[in-house]
Amino acid sequence: MSWNFETDPEFATELEWIDKFVREEVEPVDLLIDDPWDVGDALRNDLIVPLQQRVKERKLWGCHLGPDLGGPGYGQVKLGLMNEILGRSLAAPIVFGSQAPDSGNSEILAHYGTDAQKGRFLEPLLAGKIVSCFSMTEPQGGADPQVFTTTAHLDGDDWVINGEKWFSSSASVASFFIVMAISEPDASPYQRHSMFIVPAETPGIELIRNVDGHHGYLRYTDVRVPADHILGGRGEAFLVAQTRLGGGRIHHAMRTVGLVRHTLDLMCRRALSRHTQGERLADKQLVQAAIAESWCELESFRLLVLQTAWKIDKYGDYKRVRGDVSAIKAMMPKVLHNVASRALQLHGSIGISDEMPFMGYVRDSFTMALADGPTEVHLTNLARAVLRGYSPDPEMFPDYHTLRRRERAQLKYADVLERHGLLPTASAAGV
């Protein structure tokens, strides 16, 4: 048997260091800065840059990267165990150089970028000197590229981009944007779009507003970028996007495991600390049920995430685990919402105040249900993946019909039945 749920001792030591480092050094930073992504904030830099240096010295920086990009090439299972710790802190992914959307953007720059693009954009991104923006979805079409309207046309030696983009991550602090636009209007729906690298200082970029403090509503008006700023080939935006989205989704799920575990920890501490009507909250059956259900949901979700990570390591192909990734993407918001809601309830009035994190977690659960593709889309993808493993039954009464199964069983063991005086009879169903 090759099943093994143990962590090798050497990496377990690293996880212990990460846990202590995040708890003692990084989590306090969450309470002191407004935006861990804002590299222009002097206070943020004074607090985070020294922590990043300690992570680099420990050789834990950018662990999602392979050795060819200066990372350790840990693989998804080890990343999953790491991200369970990082996920409980907003600043921790930045401190470890594995934050979204930069981790995904660095992945596609590494796969599809030219040497010049890597030198200008990828290298400083990997070093943590800048942050980036992924600008794909649109206000009228959400995440459905078939109704996108942003265009890019070639004018001499430049691409000219026009359109609006919605919920563009890190838009207000990014040094460059990766923009998806229609460049091949006459091609098939999934070959019309291309990806472009747009430096933030390019004229014509307007931040209409920040939607939630971290995601921007952008307008591109005659934004001109050199022809060599296309990322990948013409019409290859879907191929490029899927390279980043598969890894991005599972990494986000890994961090959510850590966030949910942290929420359950707070729920349990509350239940053991508070008394009402002569007994602890922990002694009340409804509270016990809430804790038990939360634990079951968390552990089920965690095991599916780690199994998916194991499959990615085994096959090295996100296409083979597309259904698995859709499953964890669909489970993620529900698990966080359920556990955070129960924790909020157990904390009473303080639970709904801004003195506790639970309202933010509940809100985050709704964001998770929409970001990187709505839950409904992922459920559809999962159902299709599951159904591909089955075939229709050609007859009115399928072969799993109980009467047909009994008839086959009687024929198989006719000699035994005959010895017992139980001769097989014709099926009452006539099948």
Report all structural domains of the chain as residue ranges with CATH numbers, in order of start.
Answer: 9-99 (1.10.540.10), 132-231 (2.40.110.10), 239-387 (1.20.140.10), 395-431 (no CATH)
Q: What is residue 233's predicted lDDT score, i.e. its pLDDT?
A: 93
Q: Are 260 and 298 in contact (CB under 8 A)?
A: yes
Is the pLDDT score of 37 beyond 90?
Answer: yes
Rounded distance between C-alpha atoms, residue 407 and residue 356, angstroms: 63
Coil vs helix vs strand at 202: coil
Which of 11-25, 84-98, 229-243 is predicted least confidently?
A: 229-243
The pLDDT tens digits for 273-291 are 999 999 999 999 999 999 9
Mean pLDDT of 184-201: 95
Arithmetic mean of pLDDT over the chain: 93
Q: Is the pLDDT confidence value at 429 over 70?
A: no
Confidence of residue 430 (pLDDT cuts 50, 70, 90): low
pTM of the model: 0.90
Give 328-351 pLDDT, tens digit per residue: 999 999 999 999 999 999 999 999
The pLDDT value given to residue 1: 65
| Euclidean distance between CA atoms 83 and 92, whole angstroms | 9
What's the confidence (pLDDT) of residue 254?
93
Asked if the peptide bond before residue 101 counts as cis, ω within 30 degrees of 0, the response is yes
DSSP string, 334-397: HHHHHHHHHHHHHTGGGGGSTTSSHHHHHHHHHHHTTTTS-HHHHHHHHHHHHHTT-----SSS
Single-letter residue type at 420: H
Mean pLDDT of 34-51: 96
Would you place residue 425 in the very low, low, confident or very high pLDDT band (cuts 50, 70, 90)? Answer: low
Task: Give yes or no for residue 142 having a pLDDT over 80.
Answer: no
Cα distance between residue 173 and residue 29, in whole Å: 19
Distances (CA, A) of 308 to 35, 121, 152, 198: 31, 31, 37, 34
What span, in angstroms and rounded, lies between the C-alpha atoms of 181 and 136? 8
Q: What is the mean pLDDT of residues 413-418?
A: 93
Residue range 371-388, pLDDT digits in tens: 888 899 999 999 999 999
Structure tokens at 157: 């030696």
